[in-house]
A and B are shown apart, each in its own frame.
Chain A
Amino acid sequence: MPQDKNRQFLDFEKPIKDLFDDIEGLKQKAEKSKLDLTDPIKKLEERVLETRKAITQNLTPWQKVQLSRHPDRPYTMKYISKLTTDFVELFGDRNVKDDKAMVGGFASLDGQTVMMIGQQKGINTKARQLRNFGMANPEGYRKALRLMKLAEKFNKPVITLIDTPGAYPGLEAEERGQGEAIARNIYEMMRLKVPVICVIIGEGASGGAMGIGVGDRVFMLENTWYTVISPESCSSILWRSWDQKEKAAEQLKLTADYMYEFGLIDGIIPEPVGGAHWDYDEAASLLKPYLINTINELKQMDPEERVRKRIDKFNKMGFWDELPA
C-alpha cells in the first residue's frame, strides 16, 4: 500500500486529495510552530473517511471502471501474499515460455492447500511492461491450465483472481492460438474435478477474463467490472468513436450489482470504504472468509455433482423469447 503522501488520485477523488493536502499542511505547520494541532488533524482524517464513503456511494459505471483500474489498486500477487502463507510460485507452460502476465502456484489458505492463479499487472512502468499490462498470451492461459490440472491431480481447490483488460491481441498470440488456448481453458475448467472459485478483483474483460473464469462460484469485488468488451472498444465499434466510453459503460451494465442481479455471478465481495486501494490488508480480510467458506461448502459435494451443477449453472445463462413452436 502506498504511503499517504505517494497516493494517486482519480479526478473524482480530488476532494480526498484536497483533504490530504490540508492535513499535510497542518502537519508541517505543527512541526514548524511546535503547536499542538492533533485535534484539527484528527478531524480532517475523519472527514477523509467520510469523503471516501460519500464518493463511492454515487459512482457512475464509468467511474467504477476507472476505480477498477486505479493505479494504487492491489493486484493478484498482493492478494496472494495477504490471503495465504507458503506460496510457492510455479512458472511456465512446459511448451513455449513463462508468461509474466499470468501467475500462479500452490499456497496455504487457512491450512488448506489451494492453487492460486491470476493475471498480474505491474506496479510501475517497468513492471507494467514485464507483465504486459495484465494481458496474457496463449502460453499464459496454457500455464494456468497446467496448474489447474496439477491441482486436480492432487485434489486441491483452485482459486483464480481475474484482472485483465483482455487477452493480448498480438501477432505471436495469434500464431500460437490465442483463441484455442482460451477455448481449451473454458472447456477444461468446466470439467475440473476440484472446487473452482473465481474472483474478479479488477478488470474482467471478455474472453481474456473468462479464460480463467469458469467456476463453481464466481464473485466480483464491489468496484470491478466484467463483460464482453471494454467500454472503450465498445464505443469505437458501436458508436464509431472513442468518445462514448461513459455511455458504453452504462449500456453494458457491467458493474457487480448488475451482474449479480442478472444471475451471472454468485456474489459481490465488499471492499474497504472508497475502494480496495485504500487498505490492502482490509481488502484481503474482506475477501478471505468468502474463499474459506465457499471451499468448505463446495467440498461437501462429490466431484461429479460439482461438475454437473457447474455446467447447469452456465447453461441457464441467456435471455430469449420462446415463440409458440
Chain B
Amino acid sequence: MKQEEDFEANLAGEDGQGEEAKRSWFKRIKKGILTSTAEKKETPEGLWSKCPECGYICTMTELRENLFVCPKCNHHHRIGSAEYFEIIFDDNKYDVLFENIRSKDFLHFTDLKSYGKRLEEIWSKTDITDSIRIGKGTVKGLHLMMGCMDFEFIGGSLGSVMGERIARAIDVCLEENIPLMIICKSGGARMMESAFSLMQLAKVSGKLSQLTDAKIPYISLQTDPSFGGISASFGMLGDLNIAEPGALIGFAGPRVIKETIKKDLPEGFQRSEFLLEHGFLDFIVPRKELKEKLATVLSLFKN
C-alpha cells in the first residue's frame, strides 16, 4: 500500500519525516530568511529549490517571484503568514496584532519532551510567536482583518493562543466593521493543551456567531493541509469557504482513514477539487489570482 503523507509528526512538534520531508516547504529562521526544508543546495547564485511534485528545479528568487507556485506544474508550495500577508495586503503594509499573547505550559504536559521546553526551543529558532498571526491591512484599498496560520509552529496546531488571537481579532472586526479572513494551514488540535484546545472550537464558533449578527463577512481560505479541529470549526464556517488548488483538507487524517477502512485511498481524495465536487467549497482560487479575487469578493459584500 502506498504511504500517505503523515503530518502528525509536525503536530508532535517535530519536523516532518518520510513523505512530509519530500513535500518541500519553507521555514522561517531568525531574521526572516526563508529556507526550503528539503532539496536545497547552496550555490554561488543562491538557493535552489526542487518541486516535490514534478522535480522542476529553479532558484528561490524565481520561485518567490512566482508566489511559491511551481512554474512548471502549478504545485502550490507551503508558505507562511509573512508570505501570504505580502501577497495579499497592499504594499506589504499591515499591522500585526496580539503578538504579545503567548502559549504557556499550564498543564505541565510532558510527552517525549515538556511542552514548555518545546515552546522555548521553537521561540529560540524562529521569530514566529505562535501558530497564527493576525494582520490588519487593506486589499486594493478595502479593509481586511486576516489571521494566517504558520504550519512550522507545532504543525499550525489549534491551541488557546490561536483561539484567543482570533477572538480578539473578531472583537476588532466588530468594533470597526471589518471583514475577517482566516488562512488555514494546520494538522489539527494542539494535544499538549488537551481539552483546552478542544474548547477553542466552541470559543471561535461563538465569536463567529457575533460576526454573523453584525453581518460582517467571514472568509475561510483552506490551504495545504487543513485538518481536524480546524475543519470541524471555523475552517468550514465561512460565509465563503475557499481553498488553494490541490490542498489536502479533511476532518480525519489520511493515515487514520486508511487504517480504519484498510484500503488505499482514491486518487485525489481530500484534495480541494474533491471537496469542491462534493459541495463543500465555494470556489478554488490559484494563489496568483488570490488577491484579485479577494478584492472582488470584498467589494461585492460591501457595495
Contacts and interface: CB of A to CB of B under 8 A. Distances in A.
Interface in B210-237: 210, 228-237
Nearest to B206: A311
B118 to A, nearest CB: 11
B102 interface: yes
Nearest to B259: A169
A264 B235 contact: no
Given A175-B278, A178-B252, A237 B235 contact: no
Interface stretch (A10-18, A26-34, A226-234, A291-299): A226-234
A228 B106 contact: no
Contact of B199 (A179, A234, A314): A314
Contacts, number: 199
Contacts of A240: 12, 112
A185 to B, nearest CB: 9
Interface in A167-184: 167-171, 173-180, 182-184
Interface stretch (A67-75, A207-215, A278-286): A207-215
A190 B232 contact: no
B280 A190 contact: no
Nearest to A182: B232
Looking at B111, B196, B205, which has the most chain A CB atoms within 10 Å of its CB? B205
B262 to A, nearest CB: 11
B269 A226 contact: no
B252 A314 contact: no
A9 interface: no
Nearest to A180: B236
B195 A228 contact: yes
Interface in A240-274: 240, 248, 251-254, 259, 262, 264
Contacts of B269: 171, 174
A315 interface: yes
A213 B205 CA distance: 13
B63 interface: no
A321 interface: yes
Contact of A183 (B160, B200, B205, B207): B205
A319 B106 contact: yes
Interface in B242-293: 250-252, 256-257, 260-261, 263, 265-266, 269-270, 274, 278-280
Looking at A168, A180, A213, A321, which has the most chain B CB atoms within 10 Å of its CB? A180
Contacts of B112: 238-240
Given A171-B261, A186-B232, A323 B102 contact: yes
A108 interface: no
A192 to B, nearest CB: 11
Contacts of A187: 205, 208-209, 233, 237
A324 interface: yes
Nearest to A213: B202
A318 B100 contact: no
Nearest to B161: A320
B250 A179 contact: yes
Given A178-B252, A228-B229, A318 B280 contact: no
B29 interface: no
Contact of B203 (A174, A207, A226, A317): A317
Looking at A167, A252, A264, A320, which has the most chain B CB atoms within 10 Å of its CB? A320
B198 A227 contact: yes
A183 B231 contact: yes
Interface in B92-135: 100-104, 106-107, 109-112
A180 B226 CA distance: 12
B201 A319 contact: no
A320 B199 CA distance: 14
A324 B98 CA distance: 10
A170 B232 contact: no
B11 interface: yes
B263 to A, nearest CB: 8
Interface in B143-188: 159-161, 163-164, 167
Looking at B164, B195, B200, which has the most chain A CB atoms within 10 Å of its CB? B195
Contact of B236 (A177, A318, A325): A177
A100 interface: no
Given A173-B251, A187-B205, A314-B203, A179 B236 contact: yes
A88 B10 CA distance: 47
Nearest to B256: A169
B101 A238 contact: no
Nearest to B109: A251
B191 interface: yes
Interface in A2-47: none
B61 interface: no
A21 to B, nearest CB: 39
A318 B261 contact: no
12 contacts: A171-B269, A174-B269, A183-B235, A183-B237, A210-B198, A238-B192, A252-B109, A264-B195, A314-B202, A320-B104, A323-B101, A324-B100
10 tightest A-B contacts by CB?
A179-B231, A318-B160, A169-B252, A179-B251, A311-B206, A238-B111, A319-B106, A207-B232, A178-B251, A228-B198
